[in-house]
Structure 1
Amino acid sequence: MKTTLALASIFALSVPVLAGCADPSRAVEAGDLRDELASMPGVVSAQLDYTEPLTLDSGKLELRVEMDPGASADQVSEVVATTYTAFEGVHHDEEGDLHVTIGDDAVHLRSFQPDAETADVAAAAERAVAVLPSGTVSAGIDTQDVSAAPHVHTQYDVVVAEPGAEGLLSTLASLEAAHSGIPHAGWTVRSSDDSWGITAADGFPDHGQLDRFDQLREGLPANAAIWLGEDDLTLRLSPDTSPTDASAVVGRQLALVGGARNAFYEVQQGEDSLAMFLDGECFFDDGTAGALLEKDHGGECTDVKHPEPA
């Protein structure tokens, strides 16, 4: 009985302690940051969405800054640097997102318990502005969980106006010629309809990836496209591609990416996923095309799944 009472007392005492574990609100400081950004040169507007911290859940601040399309690199860099100074200071333990739009282009800064120096983040922003004239560009500057010095990584996403693979490859070559010296960056180049794309997380796609891209796009059915990452491939088929043609191209591509047991490979048709291969675990749609893909290419799968019944 005494033990029960003692445990009950300990529990009762612990409840207010747990209830008081939420971090302090930084809403006032977040509002001050929004006001400071709104007053900076080149800024058209600044908006803030602040989420109060909860027990075992940090506060979150999301800032959206619209800048004049003619804003200078220094002005954009100063907005990013000012925001990051607050992110790594008073908001160090809160999730911070800054979305800067400059015409059709964007710079996004992500932060949570960052280690980067403000000067390195500002330099990343300056380099991003130099890329913006290359097309419709989004530069994601990440300072969260970036272990390697200087603890900043930028992923560039460039949308190509010209449709098809040739326009994508031409833009990629131009980008590499102009910006290969940008450190701590990855690159994604894609068509405006998101059908064609190639992406690398560290630098530009290398010769091996580009050769693989060329091999994979050979013999595609009409209006088909591919999206190639460093370790993954998506085949996008038009709605009028026949199951037979789909199976033929899947067979050729599986052979190029190491077969069903080694591939990270998805086959899409319109809005539907016909098949997915992930290191031997496979998914096949229940339709005619999915059934043929399973029949022709499911033999190497170690596990096969189908859509859940509606």
Structure 2
Amino acid sequence: MVRMFNRFYALSAVAVCSILLSAWFLTSRRFPDILPLATGQFQVANTFDQRLVVFGDSWSDNASEESQGKFSCHEENLAQTANPLLRGKNVGAVVDNEELDFLGRLSQTHLADFKSQLEQWLAAELGLGLSEEAVRSRQNHTIFVVSFGVWDLWSLIGKDYDAASKSVERRIATIMEQLDELSSRWGTSELKVILTQTVDVTFLPGFESVGDQYKETVRILGLWNKQIRDAAKEWTHGTIYLFDTNAFLMDCIRDYQLFAAGIEEENGLGMNLDPGWMNVVEPCVESGYRVMMSKEKKQCEQPEKYLFW
């Protein structure tokens, strides 16, 4: 069963935090060696009232143990963010690292893809050796978030459309296969999953169009989100809440643009409230890690007012 809506506040909070992170890394289509920011043995909580388990890339990695958004619950976040290296550019986590092989963009990446992140969580969760009653209680109080796509689309920029579309199909199939794996190994067909559609990467500051790349990238975006919607409708191991991340991002951009033009729509767009953007086009830091650490150039004075980091 799938439920679709644009204003799921819990995920919105995660998305807002991650938007500030993602453009920092969206600066190249070449993938050198990278390391995750998070290290160490992953552990699950022994007890909790409500739990949010997050799989994804830098758009979902909040690197924080604090409560996020308009809810309060324990969060187990396995999302991966690339550690920026002074010697080069990098890429964030994707659904399946093997897809980089097919595209000729393999790097000796140390970032865990969805398969690896899920395996880490299952190993920790199943390793607790709980009773059937305790497991059922944990299942009833756990929501999963699966948020990939930005870096997957980024890896497809400039690729032949037929090859890129087949890669998209394989990646979406992998997402659903891994959700099936979660259902099977955790022993429940009543999973509660927030599955995100991806954003239009052509709106991100790092995107540079050459030739027909803009048109082809938008086509791939449409295919990705359609495949996600169709696959979610057919899934039978629980409930999927399908979050339209692209609509959320476009609303943020339109909200500021309407505000700047002195226009307010009936749906509330144009008020530019909380956080009240100052800039929805340019990044707070122009060229990532090097510029941020440079004594000659500084980041913007009010980073919380920039949609893109």
TM-score bucket of the superposed structures, by smaller chain: under 0.3
Q: Which has the higher contact order (CA 8 A, sep 6+)?
A: 2
TM-score normalized by structure 2? 0.27
TM-score normalized by structure 1? 0.27
More strand by share: 1
More helix by share: 2
In our comparison, the structure showing a higher alpha carbon Rg is: 1
